[in-house]
Amino acid sequence: MIWISQIIRIIEFQYSISFQIVEVAITTLMALPSFINPLVPYLVLLGSFMINYKISSSNEIIIYKQYFSKNEFKKIYQVIIIFIFGIYLINNEFISKNFYEKYKNKELEIRNNLKLGSPAQNEFHIDDIISIFFDSKLDESFFNISAIIFKDNQFITSDSVEIELTKEDLNLVFHNGERLILNQNEKSKTIFDKFTFTLSDKKLEKLFMDKDHYNTYELVKHSERDFRNHGHNKIVNYILLIIVSLIAQNIVFFYKNKKNNIFEFSSIFLIFISIQIINSYLVYTLNNFNFFGLTIYYIINIIIMVSAYMISLKIIK
């Protein structure tokens, strides 16, 4: 769902879509490993609710309980959880980092190169730099043009405009037209055969290294404070996954005769959502206030998570 919304978001950015939808889909697919990371504990929780519902509704749980001891259950479950934790760890530290870098480069390329096909509604806008309105299009040329260059208030009408793309620049070459400039310093009108407007790479979007470009170790060792805090947040998420897995172990084999478990499950889910909100607040405090240190951050988080574990156990006892 997040993947699909990313595709739609990127497509909407360009007001256009054509044959490159597959390219957009593949590009955004590369961001999925990093999108999934913060959600894994909740997916484990939801998964355990679903397994419980499945085996309870078909009464399989009664049969399992008759044939297996509690310890045997736990052993099978622990193998599964170690497997999930391993995948989470590999994804968090290696896969998502590499894929995110590729995703960002590709996304940037798509946006900068206007590679999403011909703009719909016969117009296209490059940020707050230029707006171009046209009647028809053939390959990379647009015809019967009216264009507004917002810097210096320039207005252009021309027979055509060609888009030339170099590695660093984007050139818009206008042919046979007139240019009107209206601003405080200049009022002029010129007639031209050829006029080139260049968008240098400074004006195009640049790739910024954000937190998803780094793994936990690199984040913790980073020079910027919020990057370091994000690294510690990732460590807390590992602890959260362990706590959630321990709870999930009890949820899977929770059985109440002919009773709906929706109240118990929603309460547990709400508790863990609250933990995420509190943790986010703690990260926010870490980023913005000097009095709040890492030790307090870890202590508060561990106290909250252990309490959540105890309360959840009580709910499904």
Partner 1 sequence: MIIYRYILNKCIKTIFICFLSSYSIFFIFSLVGNLNENISFLSIILLSLINSFQIFVYIPSYLIILSLIILLILLKSKNELLIIKEYLSINRTIIVFIPIILFFIIFDLNKNHLNEISNNIKSKFIINENYNELKIIYNKDENKENYRVLKNIDTKETKIGEYLFFNVQNQKITLAEYNINTRPIGDKIISQESFHYKDDNFANFLSKEIIFENIFYYIETTKKYFNLNKKQNKKNSIINLNQYFFISLFYLITTLIIFKKKMVDRNLSLTKVSLTILTIFFYYLIINEIHLNNYDLIFQLISTLILLTIFFNLKKNE
Q: Are 216 and 92 in contact (CB under 8 A)?
A: yes
CA 35 vs CA 1, 28, 32: distances in Å: 11, 10, 5
Asked if 263 is part of the footprint of partner 1 (rule: CB under 8 A), the reply reads no
Residues 197-256 that bind partner 1 (CB under 8 A): 226
> Distance (Å, rounded) from C-alpha 227 to C-alpha 217?
11
Nearest 5°: CA angle at 58, between 53 and 61?
Answer: 70
Residues 107-166 that bind partner 1 (CB under 8 A): 118, 120-123, 125, 128, 131, 133, 136-137, 144, 146, 148, 150, 153, 155, 157-159
- In the complex, the smallest distance separating the C-beta of residue 8 from partner 1, rounded to whole angstroms, is 5
Asked if 177 is part of the footprint of partner 1 (rule: CB under 8 A), the reply reads yes
Buried b (16+ CB within 10 A) or exposed e, 206-219: eeeeebbbbbbeeb
Distance in Å from the first CA to the final CA of the chain: 34
Query: How far from chain centre, in Å, is Cα 52?
Result: 30
CA 63 vs CA 68, 255, 262, 296: distances in Å: 9, 12, 22, 47
Q: Where are the alpha helices (DSSP H) in the chain?
A: 2-13, 21-29, 32-36, 40-57, 60-67, 70-90, 96-112, 216-220, 225-252, 262-288, 294-315
# residues near partner 1 by CB under 8 A: 60
> Distance (Å, rounded) from C-alpha 253 to C-alpha 74?
10
- In the complex, the smallest distance separating the C-beta of residue 71 from partner 1, rounded to whole angstroms, is 29
Q: Which is nearer to partner 1, 67 or 208 (CB)?
A: 208
Asked if 38 is part of the footprint of partner 1 (rule: CB under 8 A), the reply reads yes
Asked if 64 is part of the footprint of partner 1 (rule: CB under 8 A), the reply reads no
Asked if 182 is part of the footprint of partner 1 (rule: CB under 8 A), the reply reads yes
Q: Which is nearer to partner 1, 217 or 284 (CB)?
A: 284
Asked if 21 is part of the footprint of partner 1 (rule: CB under 8 A), the reply reads yes
Asked if 171 is part of the footprint of partner 1 (rule: CB under 8 A), the reply reads no
Residues lying near partner 1 in the complex (CB under 8 A) are found at 1-2, 4-5, 8-9, 11, 16-18, 21, 35, 38-39, 42-43, 46, 54, 57-58, 118, 120-123, 125, 128, 131, 133, 136-137, 144, 146, 148, 150, 153, 155, 157-159, 177-178, 180, 182-184, 187, 189, 226, 262, 266, 269, 273, 276-277, 280-281, 283-284, 287
